[in-house]
C-alpha cells in the first residue's frame, strides 16, 4: 500500500492512542497490505485483554474505515 495510506492510518491511530494509553495499552501499525488490510499489534495491557477484539473491531477498525476509505479491515498480529 502506498505511503499516503500508511500515513493516514497512522494519523487515525494517533487519535485513538490516548484512550488505549489510559488503560495501559497501545497499538502498533505493522503494515497495510496490498488488499487494504491493516495489520496491527496490540501492546501492553491491550495485548492480553479479552476485550481487545471488540476494541479492534468496534473502535479502531470503524475509525480507520471511516477516515481512510482504502482500508478493508484490520488483522491482529
What are the extents of the domains in the chain?
3-76
Residue-level pLDDT at 65 = 95
Helix (H, G, I), strand (E, B) or coil at 4: helix
Q: Which CATH number fits domain 3-76: 3.40.50.150, 2.40.50.100, 3.30.2420.10, 3.30.300.130?
A: 3.30.300.130
CB 63 within 8 A of CB 15: yes
Which has the closest alpha carbon to 46: 13, 5, 8? 13
pTM of the predicted model as reported, rounded to 2 decimal places: 0.88
Grouping H, G, I as helix, E, B as strand and the rest as coil, residue 8 is: helix
77 residues of the chain, pLDDT tens digit each? 688 999 999 999 999 999 889 989 899 999 999 999 999 998 888 888 787 777 777 789 999 999 999 999 999 88
Amino acid at each position: 500500500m502506498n505511503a499516503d495510506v500508511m500515513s493516514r492510518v497512522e494519523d487515525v491511530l494517533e487519535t485513538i492512542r490516548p484512550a488505549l494509553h489510559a488503560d495501559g495499552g497501545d497499538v502498533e501499525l505493522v503494515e497495510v497490505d496490498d488488499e487494504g488490510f491493516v495489520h496491527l499489534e496490540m501492546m501492553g495491557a491491550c495485548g492480553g485483554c479479552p476485550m481487545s477484539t471488540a476494541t479492534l473491531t468496534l473502535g479502531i477498525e470503524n475509525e480507520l474505515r471511516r477516515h481512510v476509505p482504502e482500508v478493508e479491515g484490520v488483522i491482529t498480529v
